[in-house]
Structure 1
């Protein structure tokens, strides 16, 4: 079997700088010369031909950025196209492929000021396009098909595989997580779910699987995430270096024996080792998520006609028979997920493990589920310090349609209590309430000072118990107006003054209306002061949640972005739990820096 590396060192070359502004749409009149010999003509199909003659000046350049694992295979196809003079609309294609980490590209493309020097992006998962769009309104991304797929599984060294009963014993994702985290007999590691689609898909699959097995799912998943946080690697390539030799004893006793990994990564690892220390693969029997390698056009509207057609030609070329063989040689399944059992065996799979996706019926992981997992991961890996500020103005007493006698505040409280369960004892959370004139001249009142949830509270058990009781006792103030601006500034000042180093510090404000206090600070003055107070070295982003149809999302979003945060809207307060986790993920990934 040939040797393959993950990633290829050649992938580190730097793409040339090419401002997007250089592009222009060109009207092309293409002259096709048909050579006729021995009565045989060369027919043009879809306007695409391949010439044996030198291309001379008739060349279209296309820059492709690809995930490090698939970049060598894509580059091989591109190089062959160059050598064979493959054309697009009569022009030879000069396709340059550069490997870059997916999370870094997603962050770059999320910036509104981004000027990418490439026309095509091939990340390992569509997760990254979703992430780029969630972080900010940046460069437009257009999916144009998929290049390959690779299932996500659990890879183990042989001794750990034997302990788990490979290959005859099968598991659900939840059972695999439990078996590898209950003791140190089999030590589980993962790539950072915030930087690895493999790690994110695996942890989300564990969460979904656990939800099917009992009411304590959230606790079990949080425990798994907490353990993984101690053994996390930045990316899949680094994760492979944490694997122990197949002994599991002595100097290697603290190294990983099992890791969440793609089938392709296991194939590449096993190919490089030629049977020495090969990995075994467990394919969970309740669903196998896949890396799907989307061929993505970057700022399609900015592409020239030649570039757009060359991109279309190249994605078609990647699906042709010879290209499929190239991808298979690097350990990838074709985009239609056709199973090559020899590839699966080389990767460490074997019957009765359900590596054939047709044997496993499961709904794909939703973007909401992935975002919840990222939020959970963020607060697990990096403990949070949150000041929760809840609107108790009179309008929060209005009923929620479809929920009987429950008011907006009733449903908000229930959702906050559910969200509280997602946080660990090391997370710090406090509670404020606000309504105009609530506390004499002030529109706000601190009910519970921000402290560790696991810390003892005077006469009331722990901070968590005290906070839960305070949530339950929140009540709307009859005829109370919304004193949003003064409250926001006061809460922000307090959060800055009590900033906790090494934690994710933020202020979470929930309100169902626009500011109604005419005697306090104005919106423009509030935004100006927030911007002046923002410290990029000690960021405290504001997460503003507009609750219900009457809330002004544009207002709270504008205020939040002054601090590096963002605004969100929920029509049903029951969605607050999900939105809080999503907001923590999005703001945390964006860095929590101030908007300029």
Structure 2
């Protein structure tokens, strides 16, 4: 599918950089920064500390990169701070704001890039987790939250009325079911891999469907397929997919959406636009997750004391009356998430829609991560060859479980299998020394579509599930990792299928124990030589248990453009596989 950069509707050209003060070699403790900034904030509440005459020459510059939806509010705050000569430790502040998609910033920081700005304000803490998920990541230090806005489903008036808005309330699962019933409701979203509202909504659909008894995730998979067919690349584009004319002519166009996953703030901004039809906003009764707009210092160690204190002074401004009023004018709630009646009404919320939800528990990070993995394999079918360690050590017990490593591994693989669609292709190998004559590996199940059936009508999914269940440790078998990896990688390359996400998943609970095998350095060199960027097959290598070597699997996997992981409990395997697929799928 096509990818497009977000149009910079806020005029967010990146500012020219100036020479920066980099005097500190030791990071300022956040508590000290907050203490100093709090003192300034107390003074600020009695007046905005105007200085006599111009202080431009002495101003401390603070560069901010922010999510496009909150960037205009930050720019207005910057103008107010400059005009009123708000100070930090006696210095005026020159705040410059650049709008940039949060997923782009997170990926850059995770790769160790960035750091040419002091502050990052993404729309969700989800991006902070992504930004620091690698050992080479640029440091990011959260210091608080600026604002909040709930995620709901916004609809054109005709569609909203047909569903009984505002009197009738729906769960996330019920709204998703409506969207999957033929052409009853054409529902769009921004790409959940690039949109926090899209990802949180899809996670809530899954939780809601599970609570309603959908144990096999069929409803969330169906919803994901529908959303994938009506997906926009970014949050900035999703409103453009709505039908625009009130006559109904365009609203009958099947390529135009009648509803979209949207935040209250985005609906507020849309409804305030000249000539736009006001949207009705559904707040699902099982909870509307909040975007929380974290305020984070970037590469705090590299900032001067003046820069970091001025940055936090900027944050405290939004806790003051003028800052809170400014956020409300832009359609945001305060960081507590408490509703503002005027904001809700302007955004299309009406009683009895449950826009004030005390006690709502947001989805756990693990649930969000699994949803992202599921989304990745839903929008692009996968072709995976799973290679499982069958050495004798896989028979050892898992502490506290009363099961062997192999037993827990099999259960986790079967659980992961449930997340894949009939169009996905999956196969199975096992490996241990001298498993098949002189070979350390054996192919058990061909890599084929899960929906394919054999001559007896048995689905490939069922055959693979049975093969997972039959995996048994070889009592005297050792870990023949290197020869197996090379052979499986060559086979995966030879059977590469265009248009699918091709990958090799290797699970091992130990280091290579075959003295007659290829060396690690030779294996890495071979893999690097075989790697083909036009036909990528990343290796996802998972070290299971304390005896496995994460650095070994990481080195092997990264030679192919893949990733290495370690889990202490084999029950974590299915979540790691989905996370790794998501990460690898975003780079191939």
Q: 1:301 aligns to what?
A: 301
Q: CA deviation at 1:9?
A: 2.7
Partner of 1:97, secondary structure, is strand
Residues in 2 aligned to 1:323 and 1:453: alpha-carbon distance in whole angstroms:
55
CA distances 1:431-459 after superposition (whole Å, capped 9, x unpaired):
11100111111100111121111122343
Q: CA deviation at 1:265?
A: 0.4
Residues in 1 aligned to 2:232 and 2:106: alpha-carbon distance in whole angstroms:
19
Residues in 2 aligned to 1:136 and 1:252: alpha-carbon distance in whole angstroms:
48
TM-score, length basis structure 1 = 0.91
Please say if residues 118 and 297 of structure 2, whose CA atoms lie closer than 8 Å, have aligned partners that are also in contact.
Answer: yes
Q: CA deviation at 1:362?
A: 2.7
CA distances 1:523-557 after superposition (whole Å, capped 9, x unpaired):
11111221222222322111111122222222112
Q: CA deviation at 1:210?
A: 1.3
Residues in 2 aligned to 1:208 and 1:376: alpha-carbon distance in whole angstroms:
13
Q: CA deviation at 1:223?
A: 1.1
Partner of 1:148, secondary structure, is coil
Please say if residues 25 and 302 of structure 2, whose CA atoms lie closer than 8 Å, have aligned partners that are also in contact.
Answer: no
Residues in 1 aligned to 2:18 and 2:114: alpha-carbon distance in whole angstroms:
9
Residues in 2 aligned to 1:323 and 1:551: alpha-carbon distance in whole angstroms:
52
Q: 1:98 aligns to what?
A: 98
Q: CA deviation at 1:7?
A: 8.1
Residues in 2 aligned to 1:45 and 1:169: alpha-carbon distance in whole angstroms:
46
Structure 1 window deviating more from structure 2 (187-196 vs 465-474): it is 465-474
Match of 2:507 among 510, 513, 517: 510
Q: 2:3 aligns to what?
A: none
Q: Which runs of 5+ in 1 are unaligned?
A: 1-5, 28-42
CA distances 1:145-181 after superposition (whole Å, capped 9, x unpaired):
1111000001111111112111111111111111222
Q: CA deviation at 1:131?
A: 1.3
Q: 1:25 aligns to what?
A: 24
Q: 2:336 aligns to what?
A: 336
CA distances 1:484-504 after superposition (whole Å, capped 9, x unpaired):
011011111111121221211
Q: 1:380 aligns to what?
A: 378
Q: CA deviation at 1:571?
A: 2.2
Q: Which runs of 5+ in 2 are unaligned?
A: 1-5, 27-41
TM-score, length basis structure 2 = 0.92
Residues in 2 aligned to 1:304 and 1:442: alpha-carbon distance in whole angstroms:
59
Match of 1:471 among 460, 468, 472: 468
Residues in 2 aligned to 1:48 and 1:569: alpha-carbon distance in whole angstroms:
52
Residues in 2 aligned to 1:273 and 1:193: alpha-carbon distance in whole angstroms:
29
1:136-155 equivalence runs, <5 A:
137-155=136-154
CA distances 1:10-39 after superposition (whole Å, capped 9, x unpaired):
43312324687x622399xxxxxxxxxxxx
Please say if residues 26 and 305 of structure 1, whose CA atoms lie closer than 8 Å, have aligned partners that are also in contact.
Answer: no
Please say if residues 12 and 97 of structure 2, whose CA atoms lie closer than 8 Å, have aligned partners that are also in contact.
Answer: no
Q: 2:16 aligns to what?
A: 16
Residues in 2 aligned to 1:508 and 1:249: alpha-carbon distance in whole angstroms:
50
Residues in 2 aligned to 1:116 and 1:548: alpha-carbon distance in whole angstroms:
36
Residues in 1 aligned to 2:156 and 2:215: alpha-carbon distance in whole angstroms:
30
Alpha carbons of structure 1 residues 397 and 286: separation in structure 2 relative to 1, 3 Å: same
Q: 2:483 aligns to what?
A: 486
Q: CA RMSD in A?
A: 2.2
Q: 1:543 aligns to what?
A: 540
CA distances 1:342-401 after superposition (whole Å, capped 9, x unpaired):
11011000011110132xx33222211111011000000011111100011111122223
Residues in 2 aligned to 1:458 and 1:478: alpha-carbon distance in whole angstroms:
35
Q: 1:38 aligns to what?
A: none
Please say if residues 178 and 184 of structure 2, whose CA atoms lie closer than 8 Å, have aligned partners that are also in contact.
Answer: no
Does the alignment pair 1:519 with 2:496? Answer: no
Match of 1:451 among 440, 448, 453: 448
Does the alignment pair 1:573 with 2:574? Answer: no
Match of 2:558 among 541, 558, 561: 561
Q: 1:371 aligns to what?
A: 369
Q: CA deviation at 1:217?
A: 4.8
Please say if residues 285 and 354 of structure 2, whose CA atoms lie closer than 8 Å, have aligned partners that are also in contact.
Answer: yes
Residues in 1 aligned to 2:417 and 2:158: alpha-carbon distance in whole angstroms:
40
Structure 1 window deviating more from structure 2 (567-576 vs 192-201): it is 567-576
Residues in 2 aligned to 1:7 and 1:334: alpha-carbon distance in whole angstroms:
27
Partner of 1:472, secondary structure, is helix
Please say if residues 19 and 116 of structure 1, whose CA atoms lie closer than 8 Å, have aligned partners that are also in contact.
Answer: no
Residues in 1 aligned to 2:263 and 2:431: alpha-carbon distance in whole angstroms:
49
Residues in 2 aligned to 1:302 and 1:26: alpha-carbon distance in whole angstroms:
7
Partner of 1:357, secondary structure, is coil
Q: 1:40 aligns to what?
A: none
Alpha carbons of structure 1 residues 248 and 136: separation in structure 2 relative to 1, 3 Å: farther
Does the alignment pair 1:252 with 2:249? Answer: no
